[in-house]
Amino acid sequence: MGRMNKTLLALTGIAVSAAITQQLRRPSEERTWTGQFLGVPYDFRLPTPTHLRAIFWNPDNPSLVAAHPFGIGWSLNAYRLVHPKTA
């Protein structure tokens, strides 16, 4: 594993740890397991088929990227790849 991969893996681990810590510091009734850490979205809820479709194939989302359905970071909205908006 190269130095860059090790660095990215370490940064990802830090971000995930910080996001979980952020949630655990809240009272249990206020934990949503979703949010942002340093502007990066996270969602640790188990995804449903409806939620997966809303992320990966969403004609109502004008953006090419959306928050991961589980974990930290972004995913592609494939609908925008297949049907790009025309100006």
Total domain count, the chain: 1
Sign of the C-alpha dihedral computed for residues 37, 40, 43 and 44 taken in this order: negative
Q: Please name the residues in contact with 32: beta carbons below 8 A apart, sequence gap of 6 or more.
A: 23
pLDDT 10s digit of each residue in the chain, 87 long? 789 999 999 999 999 999 999 999 999 999 999 999 999 999 999 999 999 999 999 999 999 999 999 999 999 999 999 988 754
How far, in Å, are 15, 47, 61, 76 from residue 19 at the CA level? 6, 18, 25, 22
- Which residue range(s) make up the domain with 73? 3-82
- Quote the pLDDT of residue 87: 43
Place of tokens 């909205």: 77
For residue 70, the model assigns a pLDDT of 94
In-domain check, residue 87 = no
Which SS3 state, helix, strand or coil, does residue 43 take?
A: strand
* Whole-number pLDDT of residue 55: 93
